[in-house]
Structure 1
Amino acid sequence: MKLTLSALLITGGLAVTSLASATTATFQLCSTAGCRTGGSQTVTSTYAQTKYPIVFANGMGGFSSIAGIYNYWYGIPENLTANGASVFVSQEASFNSSEVRGEQLLNQVQQILAITGAAKVNLIGHSHGGPSVRYVAGLLPTKVASVTAVAGVTFGSPVADTVQSLVNSPVGPILAPVISAGVNAFFTIVGVSSGQYYSQDSLAGLSSLTSKGSAAFNAKFPQGVPTNQCDQGAAVANGIRYYSWGGTAVWTNVLNPADYLVGATSLLIPGASDGLVPRCSSHLGQVIRDDYYQNHFDEVNQVAGLISPFTTSPVTLFRLQANRLKTAGL
């Protein structure tokens, strides 16, 4: 078969164009300072070519791309771009309240709408990025086509509850300011290295992810939130489609240092979890699946793609979601 044929080749269930007709596209890294090119990809498929741009929102402790080299969404924007999607990786403060981070994302979404001329965006948030995308959808519903929460902390995390109880203990006023100052300083450096200069507030971020903080946020932004934690929420609210998925594994790859962190934090969570977020707490809107063999870091292909070799690749899950949005006309 000659590469000059313009016919489509069907490979692994994906429609892939011939190399002769391939084009080049870039995904964008954004912050309040604007958007810059994150990297160029050869586009050989329209499988993930959604009607509206896809915008990613990072979780707690996250970033967009450190020094333009290491991406929080490891390998995911590149794959979606290669499959035809228009992708923007936003940057929120690594640590701050759900409302502050949501407002930061809102500002970037407005920039992206202006840059692209698109009528709407598809929002995808991981972990604390789940409340961020819900905040934007709540305040700017006519400009959001869909919201997808990946291990979003809809109902909070017992890990945050435990740490908050330590902050509120007699030793809290002594230790909390010292520890939080160190965390804030470190992630200020991480933020600067990824091109943003947000102030960090780890205590505000912690409070937002407690059960109490999440309940208060849900009262303000109830769209897609299940009435009962382990149920599904409304698939469509205010004309916006809501989706979610999550994992229930902890130890998935002994070579991944993040496994040891979630291995410890998982001990604070009764029942199934991804090591940081309980299974049912990840539910929002249409629950695609809540028991992937992935932990909280695996869900965004961290660290450096060191996930279990026996599970579905998170890159594949995001590509499937993009195709799901495309099929829905989004």
Structure 2
Amino acid sequence: MGEGCRTRYPIVLVHGLLGFVRLPGHSYWNGIDVALRRRGVAVYPVRLSGVHDNEALGAQLLERIAAIRDASGAPRVNLLGHSQGGLSACYAAARRPDWVASVTTVATPNHGSEVADRLRGRRERLLARGIEGLARLMERLECAEPGLCLPLDGPASLLALTSAGMAAFNARYPQGLPGSWGGEGTGEVDGVRYYSWSGILPARDDAAVGFDPGHALCRQLARCFVREAGQNDGLVGRFSSHLGKVIRSDYPFDHLDVINRCGGRREGAADPLGVYLEHLARLAEAGL
């Protein structure tokens, strides 16, 4: 891939729940940002609150986009969000479509997560506050913009990711949503292109998985699924992730593999990094 893969507009990478840009010895995007830059593309991983509701995160993202537009001179950006980061991107695009060329959601619970549904209950507030405390700890370890403290709201974050929370969000921001369960949505709304992709847990005998604590956690959380049992990545259901033009929703990736956490242990069609590079070429071909 060379000049033909350079996008017209910068790529903005938006992390998900409990996300960050860079901790000591570890990057959230696991080399994805580096690989995209090697193709000559301007890439901006942004930092938002580790836990909050979709609209609060989206408002923070709009502030980041404004700064990127000023710094780069680009009138628009391509938003690529992992998990809840995709919802932040959808909000930003709905509010300022003139600033956004495309939205790509990656393993995003566009119709809610059955895991979030299951976690609601008598210990919900305790769990939410625990997640909030973890987010604050990670914030203190953040190497990008050290010392920056952002507002956190664990209970609001958990509610926002439930099926009910997403139904309310989607009623306000329906851009790109499928008209029927498991279908595709409109690929372009208000001049913004919408794409999505996601994965499902690979077979247990997949030798490329090996022992991975993150993968083991995804398998445990997959037990929460009923509607999409066997069709989820451990945190997000395959069909719940559909938005706009669906690139593919059954890649053999768990929820962390999809941001290249498997670190090159996969090859060919099952290589997460390759999926991002293919999408880079797709955006470039579309003139974005």
Match of residue 137 from structure 2: 189
Match of 2:16 among 46, 59, 67: 59
Match of residue 188 from structure 2: 236
Larger Cα-atom Rg: 1
Match of residue 40 from structure 1: none
The ranges of structure 1 where at least 4 consecutive aligned residues each deviate by more than 6 angstroms after the TM superposition are none
**Matches of 1:266 and 1:176 in 2, distance apart?**
19
User: Are the counterparts in 1 of residues 264 and 271 from structure 2 also a CA contact under 8 Å?
Assistant: no
Match of residue 319 from structure 1: 277
1:317 aligns to what SS in structure 2?
helix
User: Are the counterparts in 2 of residues 256 and 306 from structure 1 also a CA contact under 8 Å?
Assistant: no
- Unpaired segments ≥5 residues, structure 2: none
Q: Which amino acid aligns with 2:76?
A: K
Displacement of 1:217 in angstroms is 0.5
Identity %: 36
Q: Which amino acid aligns with 1:204?
A: A
2:194 aligns to what SS in structure 1?
strand
**Matches of 2:35 and 2:268 in 1, distance apart?**
20
Match of residue 261 from structure 1: 217
**Matches of 1:310 and 1:242 in 2, distance apart?**
25
User: Are the counterparts in 2 of residues 124 and 150 from structure 1 also a CA contact under 8 Å?
Assistant: yes
**Matches of 1:310 and 1:113 in 2, distance apart?**
35
Match of residue 152 from structure 2: 200
1:50 pairs with 2:1: no
Q: Deviations over 1:30-84 (max 9, x none)?
A: xxxxxxxxxxxxxxx33531000000110112111114x4211101000000011
Match of residue 7 from structure 1: none
**Matches of 2:211 and 2:271 in 1, distance apart?**
17
Question: Map of 1:139-218 to 2, 5 A cutoff?
Answer: 139-164=95-120, 166=121, 172=122, 175-194=123-142, 195=146, 196-218=148-170
Q: How many residues align?
A: 277
Match of residue 296 from structure 1: 255
- Unpaired segments ≥5 residues, structure 1: 1-13, 15-44, 167-171
Match of 1:108 among 64, 71, 80: 64
With a CA cutoff of 8 Å and minimum separation of 6, indicate the structure with the bigger relative contact order: 2
Q: Higher helix share goes to which structure?
A: 2
2:5 aligns to what SS in structure 1?
coil
Q: Deviations over 1:107-133 (max 9, x none)?
A: 101100010010100000011011100
User: Are the counterparts in 2 of residues 225 and 234 from structure 1 also a CA contact under 8 Å?
Assistant: yes
Match of 1:279 among 228, 232, 238: 238
Displacement of 1:177 in angstroms is 3.9
Q: Which amino acid aligns with 2:131?
A: V
**Matches of 1:329 and 1:308 in 2, distance apart?**
30
Q: Which amino acid aligns with 2:59?
A: E
Question: Map of 1:11-50 to 2, 5 A cutoff?
Answer: 14=1, 45-50=2-7
User: Are the counterparts in 1 of residues 14 and 45 from structure 2 also a CA contact under 8 Å?
Assistant: yes
